[in-house]
Structure 1
Amino acid sequence: MPSTTPKVCLVWFGSYYPGQGYTPLYELSQLLAARGWETHVITCRRRTEPVEERAQGVQVHRVDPGPWDMARLVNPAFFAAAARIIRRERFDLVHVYNVMGASLLPRLAHTRGRNGRQTAWVLDIQAGPFLWPFASLRRAMAALTRAESRCFDAVLVINEAVAEYIFGGEWARDVAGFSRLGVRLERFAQPQLQQQRELLRRQLGLAPQHLVFVHSGVLEKRRRPEDLVLATARAVAQERDLRLLFVGTGPRQRYLQYLVQRLGLGQVVIFAGLVDYPDVPRYLACADAGLSYIPSTPPGHNLQPFLKTAEYLASGLPVVCTDTPGHRCWIQDGYNGLLCADGPDSLAQAMARLARTPALREQLRQGALASARNLDWEIVLQTEILPVYQALLDVWDRNWLAKGGPYGATCATDRETGRRELYPGPEPLYQDGRRHPRSRG
């Protein structure tokens, strides 16, 4: 590691605080600052937010997004302003969460950190191009992501399925590691949460005998939350004490409320509305099981794991979820949750089964608590992210700088050993000096 405290910057085209912005960015920055690293964050600025802020040891720089206002399109004004901050602060490492045009940053802010070391650049791909409407457009966006990733020294991806979607079957040549989702266990496993459980349940109109399924997250059309209402209508016909609690709001809420009234579920489905992120653990503690419903469309969207699933597990909730690659990252059928097919009928069967079988609920609850131990953000940082940081910072410390290549170290896999290695620039070398088989020199 460098002899001085590393100075790092995380860049995200969105807001900083959880519930408004991207939770992994917030958690990672807080953990790095707690370790004594000089940590900065560059994000978009909302109207009521200060341009500069010190947040629990993290220096937050906010940039006006301009007329794009956090859209998916390239925002040159944001990248230009972020590049000026990076050149001024001279970071040892810059960690960029992927958005269209991300490669502009290392091009605009190509600089050296303190002590003359070249700044290391990390691209973090947390989602694939799954929301674009046409298959040809999604393929084009995946190709663009691959091209932009070549401007960075190392690439992190949320999981193997997304890596294969973007980089193909030989993704290990391009991916240095994984930036998996996690959860702060101490927030969701506090003893006082169980003490507050009955009070909050009474405030929500829930009786002791009610079995509550909770859905936490944004209510939007592409996630088809109406399927949860339809499934609840069918499940409550079998188990009348079953209840559905929506934590969060979104553009689909008004339609869901109309559907609830039309189906006569006014006493069964509860809308908690927008909940501040620090209060989410209290609402999850009120529930008996969690719902994580990811439809099979749009194609590829189901490859990603979702943060709500990790939060359910950390709260000790059995999870009822669709059988998708993203959910199978964490959920084992019959161990910590129930996997079901896409559609209200299969979901209703799983909900009714869990409601009528207390022994199964307890078995899955114990499995949820056990599996959550490996999801702590501290473990994710130590096992997934810090090794990549370590390799990059060690490379710069030993002056393994690129020989004519624009941005330094790249990642590839040794075909003989299968190990991923970082190598510098156009003439790849392993750390022991051997020439890499993917040498471009």
Structure 2
Amino acid sequence: MRIVLLHFYSRTPNPIYDQISASLRRRGHCVWVGQPGFEDDFVFRDASGIVASIKGFSRPLTYNIPPAFLRLLNGARKRFIGARMLLRIARFLRTERFDIIQVNLTSMAWILRAFSGGSAHYVYDVRQINEKVRPYNWWQNIHERLVGTEMTINAGFVFDHACFCHADAARRVLGEKWESRGTVVPVGVDGRFLGYPLRRLNGDASLNVVRFVYIGGLDRDRTLEQLLEAADALRRTTERFHLDLVGPDLSSGYYAQLIQSLGLGAYVGTKDAVKYGEIPELLAHYDVGVAYVPDRPTWHYQPATKVIEYRAFGLPIISTDVSSHREYVQDNVNGFLVADSPEAISRAMERLVVEPSTLPRLKKNASAMRSGVTWDDIGAMYDEDVYRRLARGKLSCDE
């Protein structure tokens, strides 16, 4: 089959879609990935690189008008430009005659379905439900509800079928009878997480320091102040720990400055993001993975990628106690599930540092509990449970 996977939220190659596309190619399919380019364009890539691009529209608006009205105009203009771009993409898709068109987009996704035409099957791919990501004002609450309604319409009526990363996400969008309209295809892991030699895990024990790692964007919306306050409290009890925050700095240096202002430079550090394939080697230098997420509705609908990777790698995990993480972390078995507070996080870290038997026990359990769904498994799920059933007419959003 000819398959195209479209995502609209990042200009850099998304490792999830790269992994899915590679898996599907190994199963004999021709797969393109479409994503925003760096020149306000939209590019399509196959295994060898960019194979097509669609020219976009410039976006700046610099008229001499009041700022509030300017923001309103910019918002309207952005949507207008987005709609025109989607129309261009739809026309391109119509000429390419794909068998499967998979779309990860909420706003105006119906344009692609309505104007691409042809006999392709359209799959709505819900990677994340951004609900209550941060405290909102009244207008943002209304906007969020509208986005949620649009997602439900897309999944239930506009597209032929919908895929979700977690059953709770499917239930949130489609209701209790979601299985008649959607399929759960979880987030996968590279086989290197599962196959990394256990004897090399966790760095050098002779350092007598418990090393914690958080992997993810350093974004103010993720309230990483909680981790820094936990480290600040812990150092008053013990100095035998170090926490690294690894990921792209999306806070304009805020967290690096906060580390210094709290006097935590000896205990907490930041590191640049590493390539996806290098994460297993990075994790080998740590004792505990920190899967902290703010306890907000969005994280109850889908697990953070890091908790899946820590589990596959065999690291003990400290995780916020959100429902989507409970299938990966068993409290006091392969890690700790904690409340979203510096005090709770600090207590869990302290146990792993000062209690002689706790960290070795959790390490042994975590190593024995290594598990995960590989990207080849994910490719098989999409291929057999979704694409082929759509092609045979045995799957639809109305079953």
Structure-2-length-normalised TM-score:
0.84
3-state SS, counterpart of residue 371 of structure 2: helix
Question: Is the Cα contact below 8 Å between 2:214 and 2:290 reproduced in 1?
Answer: yes
Query: What amino acid is the match of 1:166?
Result: V
Indicate the residue corresponding to 1:432 in structure 2: none
Indicate the residue corresponding to 2:237 in structure 1: 238
Indicate the residue corresponding to 1:404 in structure 2: none
CA distance in 1: counterparts of 2:199 and 2:38, whole angstroms: 32
Indicate the residue corresponding to 1:122 in structure 2: 123
Aligned length: 376
CA distance in 2: counterparts of 1:242 and 1:190, whole angstroms: 24
CA distance in 2: counterparts of 1:193 and 1:76, whole angstroms: 53
User: Aligned-pair distance for 1:135?
Assistant: 3.4
Indicate the residue corresponding to 2:163 in structure 1: 156
Indicate the residue corresponding to 1:290 in structure 2: 289
Cα 1:301/1:62, change in 2 over 3 Å: farther
Map 1:118-197 onto structure 2 (within 5 A).
118-130=119-131, 131=133, 133=136, 134-149=140-155, 150-175=157-182, 177-186=183-192, 189-191=195-197, 194=200, 197=203
Query: What amino acid is the match of 2:185?
Result: S
Aligned-residue CA RMSD (Å): 3.1
Question: Is the Cα contact below 8 Å between 2:41 and 2:54 reproduced in 1?
Answer: no
Q: 1:41 aligns with which of 27, 33, 57?
A: 33
Cα 1:195/1:325, change in 2 over 3 Å: closer
3-state SS, counterpart of residue 310 of structure 1: helix
Question: Is the Cα contact below 8 Å between 1:40 and 1:61 reproduced in 2?
Answer: no
User: Aligned-pair distance for 1:192?
Assistant: 10
Cα 1:78/1:267, change in 2 over 3 Å: same
Indicate the residue corresponding to 1:227 in structure 2: 226
User: Aligned-pair distance for 1:348?
Assistant: 0.5
CA distance in 1: counterparts of 2:298 and 2:174, whole angstroms: 14
Cα 1:275/1:170, change in 2 over 3 Å: same
User: Aligned-pair distance for 1:279?
Assistant: 2.7
Map 1:328-343 onto structure 2 (within 5 A).
328-343=326-341
1:31 and 2:23 are equivalent in the alignment: yes
Cα 1:239/1:61, change in 2 over 3 Å: farther
Cα 1:379/1:276, change in 2 over 3 Å: closer
Greater helix fraction, Structure 1 or Structure 2: 2
Indicate the residue corresponding to 2:103 in structure 1: 96
Question: Is the Cα contact below 8 Å between 1:333 and 1:339 reproduced in 2?
Answer: yes
CA distance in 2: counterparts of 1:227 and 1:86, whole angstroms: 45
Cα 1:59/1:145, change in 2 over 3 Å: same
Indicate the residue corresponding to 1:13 in structure 2: 8
User: Aligned-pair distance for 1:94?
Assistant: 1.2
Indicate the residue corresponding to 1:22 in structure 2: 14
CA distance in 2: counterparts of 1:370 and 1:86, whole angstroms: 47
Indicate the residue corresponding to 1:411 in structure 2: 397
Query: What amino acid is the match of 2:378?
Result: V
CA distance in 1: counterparts of 2:165 and 2:59, whole angstroms: 26
Cα 1:60/1:240, change in 2 over 3 Å: farther
CA distance in 2: counterparts of 1:148 and 1:345, whole angstroms: 41
CA distance in 2: counterparts of 1:291 and 1:221, whole angstroms: 17
User: Aligned-pair distance for 1:301?
Assistant: 4.0
Indicate the residue corresponding to 1:394 in structure 2: 392
1:187-228 CA-to-partner distances (Å, cap 9, x unmatched) read 564349939956xxxxxxx98222110011101111101111
Cα 1:253/1:324, change in 2 over 3 Å: farther
3-state SS, counterpart of residue 125 of structure 2: strand
CA distance in 2: counterparts of 1:380 and 1:55, whole angstroms: 18
Aligned-residue identity in percent: 26
3-state SS, counterpart of residue 108 of structure 1: helix
CA distance in 2: counterparts of 1:320 and 1:242, whole angstroms: 14
Question: Is the Cα contact below 8 Å between 1:219 and 1:253 reproduced in 2?
Answer: no
User: Aligned-pair distance for 1:180?
Assistant: 1.2
